[in-house]
Amino acid sequence: MGEKNGRALERIVVTGGCGFIGSNFVRHVVREHPGVRVTVIDKLTYAANPASIADLPPERVRLVVGDVCDASLLDRVLPGHDAVIHFAAESHNDNSIADPGAFVRNNVDGTFRLLEACRAHDVFLHHVSTDEVYGDLALDDPARFSEGSPYRPSSPYSATKASSDLLVRAWARTFGVRATISCCSNNYGPYQNVEKFVPRQITNVLVGARPRLYGSGRNVRDWIHVEDHCRAVWEIATRGRVGETYLVAARSERSNLEVLRLILERMGRDADDFDVVRDRPGHDRRYAVDPSKLERELGWRPLHTNLAEGIDQTIAWYRAHPSWWLPTKRATEARYAARGQ
Ligand code: NAD
Ligand code: DAU
């Protein structure tokens, strides 16, 4: 059932529920919130894997294969639901450089269509966004992003996420759509597509290939376990203040080289057993996020505070689930090879 002191959520729509964070969120809700029923809307792009939620009870989770840009589909599905938790997006920076149009369509138009449907059917919307909307920080800048930081996106991906956030803010203020936004830092954990940094390196080692580091490896990311992000999204969706943005992070900044060496060490490889490849154009230098507002207002805290333990658990998951990731590994690496990465 819904929460005692907030929005009662009993029937929710989760967009992008066959992707990495969306599927972890659906699994979290099924495990931790027994009265809640979930309708997943997912277009099943290359990034989706329906197997990530296929073992969940059908009386709790229903999958609707469809596009959030399809207004008539949203008009059919949304009525009768208390909230939409909106994860669906094209999410990979490198792909946004190769094909930005798909990002404008899915991330900007998709969020616009959802906002219109939430407005028409008076459904609450939680919009899942990213710390990348704030651009990047210099490596030696002691600052962290906060909710008041200016929007300064630098990649086509982050520009479309920033655009979708602005639409949510405008629809909340002008049309009174009940909405919250969260901007989270880099997630890691199970069910992440092997195109992303952590699973790419782990699965490279597992298939006997060398990990690939972009440029100097000095770029810094602020890592959070996906389960901590999912708990934060639930807290914000049920108890966050309408119209507000909350930043989500576990204060765990590491350079890419540090994370890669951690993976190599935990997998029993030599610290230099990797290749340096072509850098990402416009590569953001450093993300660092201050989650104080979320901690202060909603009492959220990360539970996974030891990155080495979280990486160990993630390595063990990929070792145990080759059938989940192996079918897409070759095509992913072929795409990277074509880009010199
Ligand atoms: P992902 O690429 O693993 O999954 C995205 C899912 O959305 C896929 O299942 C895909 O099929 C679906 N989808 C895409 N376009 C769709 C459309 N038009 N209609 C219906 N479904 C569609 O992404 P992820 O890493 O799980 O990210 C989820 C969300 O969280 C994104 O909005 C992303 O911007 C945000 N985010 C991600 C991170 C991270 O570290 N991965 C951090 C902060 C925020
Ligand atoms: O900060 C939140 C963002 O984190 C999310 O909004 C995005 O959806 C998510 O993809 C992630 O973006 P990044 O671009 O930071 O993640 P990615 O996994 O692509 O890369 C992490 C860092 O590692 C980045 O500095 C690029 C580098 N990298 C990446 C790959 C795939 C490498 O050095 N080698 C690689 O093979």
Interstrand relation of 61-65 and 83-86 (parallel, antiparallel or unpaired)? unpaired
Residue nearest to atom 8 of ligand 2 (CA): 91
Q: Is 131 helix (H, G, I), strand (E, B) or coil?
A: helix
Residues with CB under 6 A from ligand 1: 15-16, 18-22, 41-45, 47-48, 67-69, 87-91, 106, 110, 128, 130, 161, 184, 186-187, 193
| Distance between CA atoms of residues 199 and 90, nearest Å | 18
**In angstroms, what is the span from residue 103 Cα to ligand 2's centroid?**
16
pTM, whole model, 2 decimals? 0.98
Q: 196 CB under 6 A from ligand 2?
A: yes
What would the mean pLDDT of 72-83 be, rounded to a whole number?
98
CB 126 within 8 A of CB 237: yes
Residue 2 pLDDT greater than 70, yes or no:
no
CB 68 within 8 A of CB 108: no
CB 341 within 8 A of CB 214: yes
Please provide the average confidence, as pLDDT, over all residues in the chain: 97
131 is catalytic: yes
Residue nearest to atom 35 of ligand 2 (CA): 197
Pocket residue to mutate for ligand 2, from 86, 106, 132, 186, most atoms within 8 A of Cβ: 186
So what's the pLDDT on residue 6? 86
Atom of ligand 2 nearest to the CA of 94: 19
Active-site residue, selected from the candidate residues 90, 132, 222, 253: 132
Q: Which two tokens stand for residue 283?
A: 């590569």
| Distance between CA atoms of residues 43 and 192, nearest Å | 17
Q: 131 CB under 6 A from ligand 2?
A: yes
Main-chain dihedrals φ then ψ at residue 21, nearest 5 degrees: -75, -40
157 is catalytic: yes
Interacting residues of 23 by C-beta distance below 8 A, sequence separation 6+: 17, 49, 52, 53, 191
Residue 58 pLDDT greater than 80, yes or no:
yes
So what's the pLDDT on residue 10? 97
Reduced DSSP (H G I as helix, E B as strand, rest coil) percent helix, strand, coil of the chain, to 5: 45, 15, 40
Residue 250 pLDDT greater than 60, yes or no:
yes
Nearest to 94 by CA among 278, 313, 324: 278
Confidence of residue 240 (pLDDT cuts 50, 70, 90): very high
What would the mean pLDDT of 281-303 be, rounded to a whole number?
98
Confidence of residue 41 (pLDDT cuts 50, 70, 90): very high
116 is catalytic: no
So what's the pLDDT on residue 1? 39
What would the mean pLDDT of 229-248 be, rounded to a whole number?
98
Residue 3 pLDDT greater than 70, yes or no:
no
pLDDT in tens, 263-287: 999 999 999 999 999 999 999 999 9
CA torsion 272-278-280-285 (nearest 10°) is 40
Cα end-to-end span (Å), the chain: 47
CB 29 within 8 A of CB 234: yes
Atom of ligand 2 nearest to the CA of 215: 33
Q: Which ligand is nearest to the CA of 16?
A: 1
Q: From residue 167, how far is each of 164, 170, 191 by CA, in Å? A: 5, 5, 29
So what's the pLDDT on residue 5? 57
Cα atoms in the 13 Å half-sphere on the side-chain side of 25: 30
User: Which domains occur in the chain, in start order?
Assistant: 11-193+224-251+285-305 (3.40.50.720)
